Structure 1
Amino acid sequence: MSWHYEKAPLNGGAPGDAYKSVFNGSGKNEAANLAREAIQNSVDAAADPGGSVRVDFRFRRLEGEARQAFETAASLTDIAVREPALGLPKSNAFRDRARPLDLLYVDDYDTTGLKGNPTHPSSNLRKLLMDLGGSGKAQNQTGSGGSYGFGKAVYSSNSRIGTIFAFSRTEDAQGAPISLLMGCAYQTGHEFEGKPFTGRAFLGTEVLVPDEGVRFDPLQGAAAEEMAARLGFQREDGLGTSILLIDTAVQPEDLVAGIEDWWWPRIEARLLEASVFDWRGEEYVPRPKQRPHIYPFTKAFDSAIGKAPDIAGRQQRKLFNRSQDLDIGALGAVVLDDSEEENPLGEDFENRLDTVALVRGPLMVVDYHQNWRLSATAPRAVGCFVAAEDVDEVLKLSEPPAHDRWDPTAQRLQIDGDEKTEIVKSILARIKKGFRDFQNSAKPPAPPRPRRLTKLERDLASWFGVGPKGRPAPPGPNPAPISLRPYGPRIEVDGDGLRATGHVDISLPEGSPVAELPFRVRILLKVAEEDGVSAADPIPLELEPDCPLEPLGEDLWLGVVTPAGPARIGFRSQAYDPSWTVQLVPEVLPVEEAAS
């Protein structure tokens, strides 16, 4: 197979690098753009519109013979001979032969694949790989994410040689199963051997169409499957599409962060499963609720969709009135627990304080929006606006190619007059007023109050002779000194939840005259809330003592401590919700003291 470079038409046309420059100046890093746009393409192709999809990002690193075999399979020599004229980064794979060749495969499942007649301009394959812009997607896919046909840009712009392959198992126009594979390169227009070229190239089948010219078609059927295997595609059974980015600079951890930052609403709605596999095959699963800068927005999202109740002065849902007989959507807002000393979202995310996450049909965050002055007195807060289905198409038309804001001045809104422009203006104005009204009426967060272990304080005061000023020390020697020292809890990730582990040491002081002392111990792990420890049941613990313990009921245990060393009791909790904050509450007292 050979790459076919497109000759420049006599009347000019878009060069290949025009297909990958749409995200320049977007303000987001490459991994974030890739996470946003690649998943959006898959969501738009969901087999069940509005249903769940799965997207895997799989990295592969090639060196030595493996790299050489791949370059032969991909016919990269055809591109390498033109490299000086293609406008590629200096660090591209053709110039830097010493470093490994990094590949990235993006595989989606529960989608339709690139359906349609692959030789016809209306097919999804040709729209993905060959069209630039166009309004067909905007007109034909209500509730979709994309509408410009620039989705291909995110793939080619993350290849240092501007080269990708698309492999899809789908159905043709008659509904019959079909496999498709095609390579595309998007590079600078250039001259080669005295002839001008657009910078676009295709690896597939060259078809001469009488009176029209040359058409480039994908490989089909067994030929597509064979080439996919040589290129390292590893699709599971079922319909769907895989995109291969050759010579990528994207890092796995940045990709995980991009998925968490922009797709957390769909993840929280359980409509997106995403995984990132690094070069060693280690899997990373995005967990947005475990990120301090995202978790408050998930609470605002729950509020906006009516999943969480209003809490006076702390959390509120605002359902906006209809406009032009259309449902608008709802705003959820929450006050942040913070202090003057630190940013509750983390020092790297100060720009998201007092912002509202804008969300519509695909459940991607379009923007962390703010167009108002920050208040010096109102408590800091975040919000989430979830648009109603009635206005989804209007908001989609207001988005630029990068889909990163709602712009009431967008020209596509004005095709039918000013009606759609006014809807977008109204939505943004309502978000601003609703969020500011919430902030102004919200109560500053109460500082967390530590739970005092009153019984333990009294016991320790009695045993060690410590007490408030003015209280006389107890007469005579302390007959039964004992101490408890907690270590933990340490928090560990366990699947979709968390576990707490640690231990407590119960000991007698050195030189104690007591040979042994029975004690009662209770170790609880409670769920902390904003106003202290909740009344909810404690999280069950599995104890691992290094001394005999006898159950006494009601979470009480009987043990014995000696001067030889501490009695150590390890603990491990059951898995619990990652959104919970937990507090260890240990209590110990001698049997004699308890009996009195």
Structure 2
Amino acid sequence: METGEEFGPWLARQLKLTGKSQAELAEELGLTRAAVSAWITKRSIPRPTVMQEIARALGTDIGTVHSRTTDTQAGLPVTWYHRPGYPDGGRDGGNAAAFAFEPDVQVLARETCQNSLDERIRENGRPVRVRYTIHELTGEKLAAFRQAILWDELQPHYAAVSANAAHQKVGRVIDAGVRDMFENGRLVLLRVDDYNASGLTGDDYDDGRFAAVVRRQLESLKSGSSAGGSYGLGKATLWATSALGLVLINSTLSEPHEGRTERRVIGRLELPWRTVDGRTCAGPAWFGRPDPESPAAEVTRSFWANPETVASLHLTRDGDDPGTSFLIVGAQDVAGLADDDADGGKSDSEENGDDTRDIRAMHRRLVAALGRDFWAAMTGGGNREPLLETSVRTLRNDEIVLEEERVDPANEEPSRTRALRAHFEGTTVERLTESGQVAHRFVPLDLPLSGGGRGTHGRHQALVLITAAEESEEELNQVHYMRGNLMTVKKARVPNLPLGTDPFQAVLLVGRAVGDSVPFVNEAEEFLRAAEPPEHDRWGQTDELTLRWSHSAFRRINRLTTEVNSAVKDLAARPKSAGRRPGGEKLGKALVLKQSPAAGSRVRTGTGRPDLQELSAEIGPAGEWRVTAEVKLPRGVELPAMRPVAELDVRSGPRPRLAWAELEAVDGCEVEDGVLRFVPGVGRATFRGSTDVESHPVRTTLTRLVLELRAEKGD
């Protein structure tokens, strides 16, 4: 059956690949040039007997000519094309976009899953399925893979980069990756497959998904305001995660290109500027079939591979669902190795002589990241299917090391998963009165006028969901913020909660996450999308927000945060009951109410005083100082009330004092009007706070912070 590309365009490309002209083919077939021209222009097709002769002339089999789902293997072979050095002598030390992200598989999971969500085929209502495969190669398997990627052609380029590694940051990473492969005899492949996604559609060079991912930098063709990506940077995480700077791609297209959809293959290599055999190379290189229409047929383009080729490249996909497979060659997880080193000791696998520690740790970190950032997208309920399914598996030389593990959002975020499912099923309540309930509250987001105009374009109603936290959860009393693609953008603890508040978890849904029927859904999506930095990990001031709206537009988001915190505090508040002591039962048992001394008597006090021992501080997204402090308390002493004071360190003169925007007790104390009062009998107390940015006289990044505990007057 003729199910592939139309005969004319297919034949025209084969003639270019084999270097034959229409006249030469006509002569070999004993036909006129007009007959061949009629085939090329789709005015006619050859008879079956003539097709056999065409197959012989092209050096292929009759099945390839009939099906036309792949190119002939004759003519120009698959090879590497290295971009020539710039004629003006300019040099690139690597792809700058890759430096926007750490070589961390958790960052990779966040960016790649977000891209797959954006490319999900929505019409069929099915989720996009994303699978991560960690595959370590050694021995003969490694040698066969190096042969498949034409390592002998690449080796001189890697050698040139290694020779110049002292002068290039990227070169040092590449040099270490090559040495690791040869000295340890191992190579880690990390493949990201998505299914029920668009695939890399479009021409090799013109506008389209393929060119945006494979050929260009800082270009995002995401459609729809609810898309997660907007900078065109996310794809750089693929190359940043490769210690060799190499990614291979196999795409099944949702729309035919050149009459075909399956096994569209290309590779891209990111190296710094280098000189090889007297020829300068600008940086990137592409693995594909030479394009006969390019000068000297040097530039390579994607090619339609056969099953054997994709198998040798470890790019075989499961089934014919559209989507793309990215193979990261020499996958590295710098942050994961650092975490393991910080933990110290040996893992169980090391104690048993198993040397798969790295890939096992990578597996665990991927599962944790997917559950943490995409639990909402993997949650369904009522008539709503999840948007996303994810899984991770780990292999070594095609043998299973860790079975495929499907990420269950209920394991990672049990309380919030329950809350979101209740929203989908329509079972939320206005007040929490029983265990397991989920309460909801709408909060306003006032959208600004574009172009810097004063006033409000419209009011969008975001939705807060809150439910009791599970005992197994560690980070309590937090709100996860998200919009239409249901990826967690921001996490924030609710400040200044009343003492005794029962532990809870909360979710804020904005834009399409609330539902299409809510007013100003698209405008809210567009506004918040512009407020996200390349990492998509918060909402705040960005250049795009300033250019499209105003320099103060981010204050609308701050007001939304205030409304959210207020709603959560109200929903989390315990109903008042007669006889209950302030602060709840647990606190009531820990607190001892001191009696006033009798007339003429003296209160016995010790000589000890609270000692500020541990302090951690970081700069928040709005430029505020965020601190967490631990205080050692003397025992058997009546403790005075203490006021935490934040100041900026200066060389001379009085220290500028900063105001607190938030100050809250964590353990062993309570906060009242900015003053710490310690629980009698405890040995340590912990509190945290955030400074008010408006009280900062200079930019926070240019300052050092001093924190003091000062006794209140009279103490």
| TM-score (structure 1 length as normaliser) | 0.64
Which segments of 5 or more consecutive residues in structure 2 lack a partner in the other structure?
A: 1-77, 165-170, 334-361, 381-385, 447-456, 513-520, 577-582, 587-715
Q: Does the residue aligned with 2:565 lie in a helix, a strand or coil?
A: helix
C-alpha displacement at 1:214, in angstroms?
6.8
For the pair 1:345 / 2:473, whether they are aligned, the reply is yes
Task: Determine the structure 1 residue equivalent to 2:687.
Answer: none
User: Cα distance, 1:420 vs. partner?
Assistant: 5.7
Say which SS state the counterpart of residue 88 (structure 1) adopts: helix
Shift of 1:192: 4.0
**1:330 paired to 2:463:** yes
Other-structure match for 2:98: 20
- The answer (yes or no) to whether the contact 2:209–2:221 under 8 Å persists in 1 is no
Q: By how many angstroms is 1:6 displaced? A: 2.1
Q: Does the alignment pair 1:276 with 2:392?
A: yes
Among 507, 519, 526, the alignment partner of 1:393 is 526
In structure 2, the CA distance between the partners of 1:136 and 1:168, relative to structure 1 (3 Å rule), is: closer
Question: Is 1:297 aligned to 2:432, yes or no?
Answer: no
Query: Aligned partners of 2:575 and 2:275: how far apart in 1?
Result: 64
Give 1:114-133 correspondences, 5 Å limit: 114-120=200-206, 122-133=207-218
* Equivalent residue number for residue 110 of structure 1: 196
Partner of 2:624: none
Classify the secondary structure of the residue corresponding to 2:81. Answer: strand
Tell me the C-alpha RMSD between the 2 structures: 3.2
Contact 2:468 2:505 in 1 (8 A): yes
Q: Please report how far the alpha carbon of residue 206 of structure 1 lies from its aligned counterpart in structure 2 after TM superposition.
A: 4.0
Question: Cα offset for 1:353?
Answer: 2.7
Q: Which amino acid aligns with 1:255?
A: L
CA distance in 2, matches of 1:13, 1:446: 68
Counterpart of 1:113 in 2: which secondary structure? coil
Q: Distance in 2 between matches of 1:125 and 1:87?
A: 30
SS at match of 2:328: strand
1:77 maps to: 152
C-alpha displacement of 1:8:
3.7
What's the counterpart of residue 368 of structure 2?
257
Cα distance 1:205–1:260, how it changes in 2: closer, same or farther (>3 A)? same
Aligned residue type for 1:155: L
Structure 1 position 247 matched with structure 2 position 333 = no
Select which of 41, 46, 62 maps to 2:115: 41
**1:358 positional shift:** 1.4
**Helix, strand or coil at the partner of 2:377:** helix
Q: 1:177 to 1:319 in 2, by over 3 A?
A: same
User: Do structure 1's residue 64 and structure 2's residue 139 form an aligned pair?
Assistant: yes
Cα pair distance change 1:335/1:76, threshold 3 Å: same
CA contact (8 A) 2:532 2:539 kept: yes
Shift of 1:368: 1.7
For 1:182 and 1:374, how far apart are their aligned partners in 2?
54
CA 1:337/1:169 → structure 2, altered by over 3 Å: closer, same or farther? closer
Q: Encode CA deviations 1:487-536: one digit per residue, 9 max, x unaligned.
A: xxxxxxxxxxxxxxxxxxxxxxxxxxxxxxxxxxxxxxxxxxxxxxxxxx
User: Matched residues in 2 for 1:132 and 1:400: separation?
Assistant: 17
Q: 1:441 to 1:167 in 2, by over 3 A?
A: same
In structure 2, give the amino acid aligned to 1:74. Answer: I
- Structure 2 residue matching 1:412: 3-state secondary structure: helix
Q: Displacement, 1:178? A: 5.4
Structure 1 residue 21, shift from structure 2 partner: 1.6
Residues 373-409 of structure 1, C-alpha deviations (whole Å, 9 max, x = no match): 56655443321111122112221121111111112x1
Equivalent position amino acid for 2:549 in 1: G
Partner of 2:95, secondary structure, is helix
Contact 1:304 1:384 in 2 (8 A): no
Residues 1:15 and 1:309: Cα distance change in structure 2 (over 3 Å):
farther
Give the counterpart letter for 2:388 in structure 1. Answer: L
The answer on 1:3 being equivalent to 2:131 is no
| Mapped pair 1:416 → 2:571 | no
How far residue 195 of structure 1 moved from its aligned partner, in angstroms, is: 5.0
Q: Secondary structure at the match of 1:278?
A: strand
In 1: Cα distance, 2:575 partner to 2:288 partner: 61
State the Cα deviation string for residues 336-361 of structure 1 (Å, max 9, x = none): 366xxxxx524xxxxx3322111111
SS in 2 for 1:436: helix
Displacement of 1:189 after TM fit? Answer: 3.5
Structure 1 130/426 Cα, relative in aligned 2: closer, same or farther at 3 Å? farther
Q: Which runs of 5+ in 1 are unaligned?
A: 339-343, 347-351, 448-596
Q: Distance in 2 between matches of 1:59 and 1:195?
A: 36
Letter in 2 for 1:414: T
Residues of 2 paired with 1:167 and 1:256: CA distance?
24
Aligned to 1:368: 491
AA partner of residue 9 (structure 1): Y
Are residues 1:227 and 2:295 paired? no
Local SS of the residue matching 2:249? strand
Matching residue's letter, 1:417: W
**Conservation of the 8 A alpha-carbon contact between 1:129 and 1:152:** no
Q: Deviations over 1:440-488 (max 9, x none)?
A: 55788989xxxxxxxxxxxxxxxxxxxxxxxxxxxxxxxxxxxxxxxxx
Residue of 147, 156, 181 corresponding to 2:265: 181
For the structure 1 residues 337 and 204, does the alpha-carbon distance in structure 2 shift closer, same or farther, using more than 3 Å as the test?
Answer: closer
Distance 1:308 1:439, change over 3 A: closer
Residue 326 of structure 1 deviates from its aligned partner by 4.3
Q: What are the superposed Cα offsets for residues 201-247 of structure 1, whole Å, 9 maximum, x if unpaired?
A: 2112344767999754212x2x3655322212221223221111111
Aligned partner of residue 481 in structure 2, secondary structure = strand
* Equivalent-residue separation in structure 2 for 1:109 and 1:446 (angstroms): 52
Query: Which residue in 2 is equivalent to 1:431?
Result: 564
Q: Deviations over 1:105-128 (max 9, x none)?
A: 2111111211112331x1211211
In structure 2, do the counterparts of structure 1 residues 126 and 383 end up closer, same or farther at CA, with 3 Å as the change threshold? Answer: same
Structure 1 CA distance, aligned partners of 2:478 and 2:126?
A: 28
Alignment partners' CA distance in 2, 1:176 and 1:207: 18
Is this contact kept in 2: 1:128–1:151, CA < 8 A? no
Q: 1:432, CA displacement in angstroms?
A: 3.0
What does residue 535 of structure 1 align with? none
Note the C-alpha offset of 1:437. 3.4
AA matched with 2:568: F
Instruction: Tell me the amino acid that sits aligned with residue 169 of structure 1.
Output: T
2:406 paired residue number: 285
Greater Cα shift, 235-244 or 182-191: 182-191
C-alpha contact (below 8 Å) 1:333/1:384 kept by paired residues: yes
Distance in 2 (alpha carbons) for counterparts of 1:361 and 1:371: 23
Residues 336 and 59 of structure 1: CA distance in aligned 2, closer, same or farther (over 3 Å): closer
Q: CA deviation at 1:79?
A: 3.2
Partner of 1:544: none
Show the counterpart of 2:238. Answer: 155
Q: 1:318 to 1:8 in 2, by over 3 A?
A: farther
Deviation at 1:20, TM superposition (A): 1.8
Equivalent in the alignment of 1:574:
none
Residue 507 of structure 2 corresponds to residue 384 of structure 1:
yes
Q: Is 1:101 aligned with 2:187?
A: yes
The alpha-carbon distance between structure 1 residues 411 and 214, as it changes in their structure 2 partners (threshold 3 A), is farther
Match of 2:463, SS?
A: strand
The one-letter code sitting in structure 2 at the alignment partner of 1:424 is I
Return the letter of the residue paired with 1:21: F
Tell me the equivalent position of 2:429. Answer: 309
| CA contact 1:15–1:200 (8 Å) conserved in 2 | no
CA distance in 2, matches of 1:173, 1:426: 48
* Cα distance between partner residues in 2 of 1:254 and 1:19: 24
User: 2:91 & 2:293 partners in 1: Cα distance?
Assistant: 20
SS in 1 for 2:144: helix
CA drift of 1:89 comes to 5.3
Residues 202-217 of structure 1 correspond to what in structure 2 (within 5 A)?
Answer: 202-207=286-291, 215-217=299-301
